[in-house]
């Protein structure tokens, strides 16, 4: 153990302009000399979906380097930490090399974040997808308490984090789920569920929930990596339009909004507002 020191710290709420309605993120703005075990211990103590640590980049094309930890382990990439860390870095005086564009270095590689729009948006990293094994799909359906007939489509999605993505029959099915989180943890599979909104008075186009018991979080309030992979899959299969708004978090007392858009070059951008809730220092 090395001596603790005082470090600048922020806690940011992501995918919301309203404090305490999105997905909170702990941001240690000076993490260059911290070892992975200390980062993991602090993330477990914070007990948020993710805790991140910023340091100078090792790639000259990047503006800063980011390491991302859940209570259960390190992630190569995650969406809400990407937007939240960018917000915190800029608010703390960070200056990007290129106007309107921040480049983040993480274990997955370089991630571009546009900051010249109404809300910041990251470029979704490449995502692969494959059909899940029938046995896994049956076990997950049982853990979720749904029948196979309620699953419209399913794909294993991988953009660093791996999610089993399920498109269900109805938004009310998604919102009414009461999963067996112990069973999902035993399967070792994170599960993202979504359904297209069909209500005439609904302000959003897609309802999403994310169950991540294997990482120590039963339900993630709002999930950028999942929404990025879902968008690439659903748009490619013409199941969603090239621009839409997703809602996530209502079942855990939040009200997150994720803005998704595919540009003329086929790149998918995932955006949302961030707001700082705690600004101070941490001894670490």
* pLDDT tens readout for residues 154-172: 999 999 999 999 999 999 9
**Residue of 133, 88, 149 lying closest to 115 (CA atoms):** 88
pLDDT at 214 over 80: yes
**Percentage, residues of the chain above pLDDT 70:** 99
Has 50 been annotated as catalytic? yes
pLDDT at 2 over 90: no
CATH 3.30.70.380 fits domain 6-123+272-283: no
pLDDT value for 267: 97
pLDDT value for 3: 76
**pLDDT band, very low/low/confident/very high, at 42 (cuts 50, 70, 90):** very high
DSSP annotation of 212: E
d(CA 116, CA 75): 27
Average pLDDT, the chain: 96
Delimit the CATH 3.10.310.10 region(s) of the chain. 6-123+272-283, 128-266
Q: Which of 50, 74, 91, 219 is catalytic?
A: 50
Contact assessment for residue 152 and residue 254, using Cβ atoms and an 8 Å cutoff = no
How far apart, in Å, do the first and last CA atoms of the chain sit? 11
Q: Rounded to an integer, what is the distance from CA 244 to the centroid of its chain? A: 17
pLDDT value for 202: 87
d(CA 162, CA 145): 22
Q: What are the distances in angstroms from CA 222 to CA 37, 102, 259?
A: 26, 22, 12
pLDDT value for 11: 98
pLDDT at 258 over 80: yes
Q: Which helix (H) or strand (E) holds 174?
A: helix 171-176
DSSP annotation of 240: S
Q: Which CATH superfamily is domain 128-266 in?
A: Diaminopimelate Epimerase; Chain A, domain 1 (3.10.310.10)
d(CA 124, CA 103): 13
């Amino acid at each position: 153990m090395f001596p603790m020191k005082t470090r600048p710290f922020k806690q940011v709420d992501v995918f919301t302009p309203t404090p305490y309605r999105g997905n909170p993120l702990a941001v240690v703005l000076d993490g260059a000399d911290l070892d992975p075990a200390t980062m993991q211990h602090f993330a477990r103590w914070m007990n948020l979906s993710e805790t991140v640590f910023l340091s100078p980049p090792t790639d000259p094309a990047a503006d800063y380097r980011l390491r991302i930890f859940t209570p259960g382990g390190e992630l190569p990439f995650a969406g809400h930490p990407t937007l939240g860390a960018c917000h915190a870095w800029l608010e703390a005086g960070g200056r990007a090399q290129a106007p309107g564009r921040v480049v983040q270095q993480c274990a997955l590689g370089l991630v571009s974040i546009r900051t010249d729009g109404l809300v910041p948006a990251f470029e979704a990293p490449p995502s692969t997808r494959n059909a899940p094994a029938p046995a896994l799909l049956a076990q997950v359906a049982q853990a979720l308490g749904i029948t196979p007939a309620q699953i419209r489509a399913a794909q294993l999605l991988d953009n660093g984090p791996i999610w089993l993505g399920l498109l269900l029959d109805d938004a009310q099915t998604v919102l009414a789920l009461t999963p067996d989180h112990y069973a999902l943890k035993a399967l070792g599979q994170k599960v993202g569920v979504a359904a297209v909104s069909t209500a005439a008075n609904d302000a959003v186009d897609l309802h999403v929930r994310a169950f991540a018991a294997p990482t120590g979080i039963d339900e993630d309030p709002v999930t950028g990596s999942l929404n990025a992979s879902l968008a690439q899959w659903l748009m490619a299969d013409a199941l969603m339009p090239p621009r839409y708004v997703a809602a996530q978090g209502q079942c855990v007392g939040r009200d997150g909004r994720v803005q998704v858009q595919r540009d003329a070059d086929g790149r998918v951008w995932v955006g949302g507002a961030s707001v700082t809730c705690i600004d101070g220092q941490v001894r670490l």
